[in-house]
């Protein structure tokens, strides 16, 4: 199947709602960067519950709709913008999801979830299991940041077996001499990861680097697996199917 560009499932591109883009001008710069990196679909996933957000729901929707229209005019083909949240898990998360206060990924049952970096594995597992039991499909954001998962391949495999989607940031695979980057590349090349995403925040700080990450991985990763990371699995997400 032919896919038209990359899908970036994790970004902080809506202006003035969290620690990401601070203006529509900066968001447009980021969209142009993403387009040049090959991105044609992007999920805007502002923080929810982490304390980094600074918006109400009405303001978020207003700014999303304006940016969505701007994104359609980027480059020759435009970028399709979809809405979600990066959800900092708390005990109230499930209740807020059921009330519609938190956005799922493009209206599907998929949700992008993050935790405190120092969380224990058992607490993370139980929390994700609670979300799964409620009918959601959690995608664990930037799994390389959690101390309880670093070099713990059996624990990561257990999350996959539970049905959790696993996402790595593109900039985490780029460094040539880095134990973290080496770990991330190994996870990807051994088939543990479902999504590569930018987690872009600003034009000059953590910009969208999807193709840069792809180019590093391309040297030693089967092309059909790379396609799953940035095209096939995001298509499954969008269709609300199971990974």
Write the DSSP symbol of residue 200: B
Torsions phi, psi of 5, nearest 5? 85, 175
**243 lies in some domain:** no
Range of the domain at 159: 6-238
- Does residue 113 belong to any structural domain of this protein? yes
Residue 176 lies in a domain: yes
CATH of the domain at 14: 3.20.20.140
The total number of structural domains in the chain stands at: 1
**Distance of alpha carbon 17 from its chain centroid, rounded?**
17
Each residue of 189-234: pLDDT tens digit? 999 999 999 999 999 999 999 999 999 999 899 999 999 999 999 9
pLDDT digits (tens, 9 = 90+) for 30-75: 999 999 999 999 999 999 999 888 889 999 999 999 999 999 999 9
Overall pTM > 0.85: yes
1 domain-assigned: no
Can you read off the two tokens belonging to residue 65?
Answer: 């709709």
CA–CA distance, 182 with 163 (Å, rounded to integer): 25
């Amino acid at each position: 199947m032919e896919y038209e560009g990359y899908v970036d499932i994790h970004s902080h591109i809506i202006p003035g709602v969290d620690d990401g883009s601070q203006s529509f001008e900066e968001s447009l710069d980021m969209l142009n960067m993403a387009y040049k990196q090959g991105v044609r679909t992007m999920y805007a996933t502002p923080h929810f519950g982490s304390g980094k957000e600074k918006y109400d729901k009405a303001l978020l929707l207003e700014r999303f709709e304006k940016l969505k229209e701007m994104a359609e005019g980027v480059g020759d083909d435009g970028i399709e913008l979809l809405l979600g949240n990066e959800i900092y898990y708390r005990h109230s998360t499930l209740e807020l999801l059921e009330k519609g206060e938190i956005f799922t990924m493009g209206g599907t049952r998929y949700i992008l979830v993050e935790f405190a970096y120092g969380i224990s594995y058992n607490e993370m597992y139980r929390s994700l299991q609670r979300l799964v039991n409620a009918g959601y499909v959690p995608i664990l954001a930037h799994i390389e940041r959690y101390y309880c998962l670093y070099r713990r391949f059996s624990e990561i495999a257990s999350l996959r077996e539970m049905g959790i989607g696993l996402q790595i940031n593109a900039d985490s695979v780029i460094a040539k001499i880095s134990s973290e980057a080496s770990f991330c590349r190994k996870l990807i090349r051994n088939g543990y990861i479902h999504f590569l995403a930018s987690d872009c925040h600003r034009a000059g700080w953590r910009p969208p680097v999807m193709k840069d990450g792809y180019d590093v991985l391309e040297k030693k990763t089967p092309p059909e697996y790379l396609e799953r990371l940035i095209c096939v699995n995001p298509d499954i997400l969008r269709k609300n199917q199971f990974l």
